[in-house]
Structure 1
């Protein structure tokens, strides 16, 4: 029993394929949820009835409550790196970026990138976002029938983050393809073909950013790549760190928003009374964004590693223990939210913020940008596509780690 509960020895990462097979054989609910997300909330309800943390016979503790998830995220005794240097979330597209690092590297690199996402700067940038949004929607609506994801939800945040970074428009199509590759890799790399696909995406982006960095060193502009190139010239980060940071800001800067907008369209059309509320009052758009993120988070699950002796809901945790955080469960915690399984744009403002952007030192750097884009997109949809309806079968992303849609056929 002791060995089975020593999760540091049983499982290195919750995305490890062999470990998940062992967990499935042992009846661990995590394996079932990852294989079949459709029934996850019924599973979470049963587990939550036993307490805020589920400690299975084999595998890591599973945190279901909003309170305990928040405590772990804000506790500096928990981090993202194992003692051997690996990531709590497995090896993936982001493993060498600051989003998967602990202090001091995380702090240093995040501080250098943070000026690009200041709320005031993004408020000033809103006119540009609105212009892109309306151009895309007008073009899509002119077709009568269109794919809301490929014609609108995907090109919008790609255009915005590319503009902020200073990347030429002609690369936009490549970035959408990379997003799909990245989403698959976060579930763990399963085959040699998938590894080659991921390696090619990483190499291609590396070459692009290295070339742009050389251009900005010779001719600085008012963009993020110039900002980072200047920092590298001042020895505040290495050339490799510039490339990995740009890669992170690009992919993370549009992936969450693509999934937010696509999921919002599906949820609103599935809940016509809420869609009617938004159409009647487009100023509900910011609240709609928060409710979509709470109800169906783009990143429903994460993990942390205890770096030193710690506590989990009052019980001791040994160093190098993996802890899995079920954000999708925490966001529907009945101890925090009234009617948590209902999708409600008029949810009380007294309820706590969802955990879809994390908490603590790893709180999503791009959250302000994603919120502005979501607000602008949903407001424009309410005004320009009031007759929006789904006309075909949605196609979901092939990932249980990044949730969203690849395709959503609609008509207006």
Structure 2
């Protein structure tokens, strides 16, 4: 099916209430830190790394404009994605290459340690901030701009930024640590999450869709650490629920041609909870499935659940086996919108999206999208056979584009 023949869903979603929301920067509960960041740069407190051109100008919740770089991005990867959902990160990289964008995949990035922080097992304030600033300096030294894959890292770094702007003593302590490492003390002009980049490229993706998604119904779980922390910095769009919910994920899914269905517990956490997933995993699994997945099934009956954070995909996908064993109404595949978008424009479900790492059965979704999961699996198995035989060392980007 050619791109021009694809039926596309109408843009926009309906607000859940008759209330209207008029963005007003003067009414924002969070201050706009960017001018303070530039002022501290002018005072010599740190180097400000500007967003590289070309960039997309997106509206945030209260009407401020946020710059989203298209390329020259330094990818701050997620430990949970790389360890549990590798197709999440691979899909982001694949989309960059597919669109011809220049990016940098660093080998010297450290974990943000935010899971530790939110699980109440952190070290100290200066150490947490130093980790963030060390990664920012590493990006600056390459000439590429940080793009953060993990919602947890994104939320944590926004909190760190706020602390460093307002706390001179903390700033002094962290600067001393970075100087001992022999690195520059750098603060990016904007903190950018990868899902904002996905939002910025949604029209480009729409032009390249190769599968008819008009029969696909998706529910979206907006990640708490993306839009609830420093809420004025998240992307919103008047066409998405009247600007009353973040536009990340939903706007992309609609642009690809799928239908986004609403459900009553959209605001609830995925259940991950950081501390809960470590010491009360049954609570996490119960909340993720009974408060989120079951509600989605009963109210929207989606073909797929899409989200934009590591812990959310992990909890919502890998918790369903437990309640399924008890006969509960679950069984919906869960993935990131980057994986879904990559599939929509032609990425391989196993070589790129790596759906075999997911727990809940995704094959009915692939079939409904027009992708033959058995054929794709046979192709992937042939790749593995070649690697085992020594005729191929590993999959290359050239072989999957």
Give the TM-score of the pair, scaled to structure 1: 0.30
Structure with the bigger RCO (C-alpha within 8 Å, sep 6+) is: 1
